[in-house]
Structure 1
């Protein structure tokens, strides 16, 4: 039986880590893609709420709100806590940090490109 090299083992673990990380990022991006889910996040940013309090502003079936909440929960953006007979739903904003970090990488990319564009514009102005 052949023993895998350390390099292969590390590469496999890194690939698995990237897949898990990207799956979490994909889940969060999917969750925040819908305006209703963003509205729910906005509401929960003010504090925990019961289901009917969350569903009240939406002119839709309660089943649709349930589906939105399940997707937010899958992305790790909300948690449910039972207090007596009531269930309170709270925002867990940590996964949004991953989105912010991912977007920040592209912000740097575009800032560099815009700096080059600005310099080219200035160089062309000086030539005229």
Structure 2
């Protein structure tokens, strides 16, 4: 069994190194079915939100287009808000004193997560 895993890892390394050398060729969803599957899952999740807001006794296409427009408008507003906040944060992050404190806070959070992971116990299978 161990030999099988070694061969599989060697094969994965070989195929990934081939991909590094041939980055110029286009990648298609037919060659990467997991990308196509993710695209379908994204569409399914998007349309799963709408049925609770649709009236089955009215034409569905206009309702769907209205809901899609509302969703797109809300997405645009949220992205513009993120951009405005990033512009303000840029000024703060240029101050060395702020960066030092931010690094301390983020580092402390990662240390806390690491300690929490150490405390976890494995569940016997």
* TM-score over 0.5 for the pair: no
Bigger proportion of residues as strand = 1
For normalisation by structure 1, the TM-score amounts to: 0.36
* TM-score, normalising length: structure 2: 0.36
Question: Which one has the bigger helix percentage?
Answer: 2
| Higher relative contact order structure (alpha carbons within 8 Å, sequence separation ≥ 6) | 1
Larger Rg: 2
